[in-house]
Amino acid sequence: MTPEELRNLRTRFCYTVEEAAYWIGETTIAVWQSYEDGKKPVPKEMAERMEMINLWFQATVDSTAQHLRQEPQAALITLIWYDDINDWLDTGHKFLFLWRAYLQVCLKLKEMFNDFIVLHRFDKDAFAAWVKENHLQDEPVDDNLTLRWASETTLTTMAQTPTTTQ
């Protein structure tokens, strides 16, 4: 991977240099910057992780787009928007380095299929109250539970679609 390709992928998914260094490269900001500046070669493992993020993004967008094209009468698809990395991690997501890429998936799908995509901002307090109200405290907190919450509470969806992740 060239320094330009590394920088382009980082910026495509809106990672700051600091986030990319810590979350993707598991290194320091200075070392990451040296890869982007071409002072050091991009390590194979880092290039593979960036390519994996890129492939995950494309596969997620493509599979959702294919579903919507095959079933245009399908109900709205609710995607949860996580403003905060801690909310992302607290809801069962194990890979913090996918958080920003996930947000870019949401934006891309909203751009492509505005009439079929609902972006629902995650609200930790509202989610906790819903879990308690529905006696779901023993349920694992994962995508299934958070999407159920979002689908049942769509009246409080975001008034405006996010346009950036920074």
Give residue-wise pLDDT tens across range 65-80: 888 888 766 667 888 9
pLDDT single digits (tens) 50-65: 999 999 999 999 998 8
pLDDT single digits (tens) 70-128: 876 666 788 899 999 999 998 888 888 899 999 999 999 999 988 888 888 999 999 99
Six token digits for residue 16: 């700051």
SS3 annotation, 65-87: HHHHHHCCCCCCEEEEECCCHHH
Query: pTM, whole model, 2 decimals?
Result: 0.83
Spatial distance between the Cα atoms of 41 and 123, rounded to a whole number of angstroms: 41
pLDDT single digits (tens) 9-20: 999 999 999 999
Spatial distance between the Cα atoms of 107 and 96, rounded to a whole number of angstroms: 18
Spatial distance between the Cα atoms of 9 and 122, rounded to a whole number of angstroms: 26
**Residue length, the chain?**
166
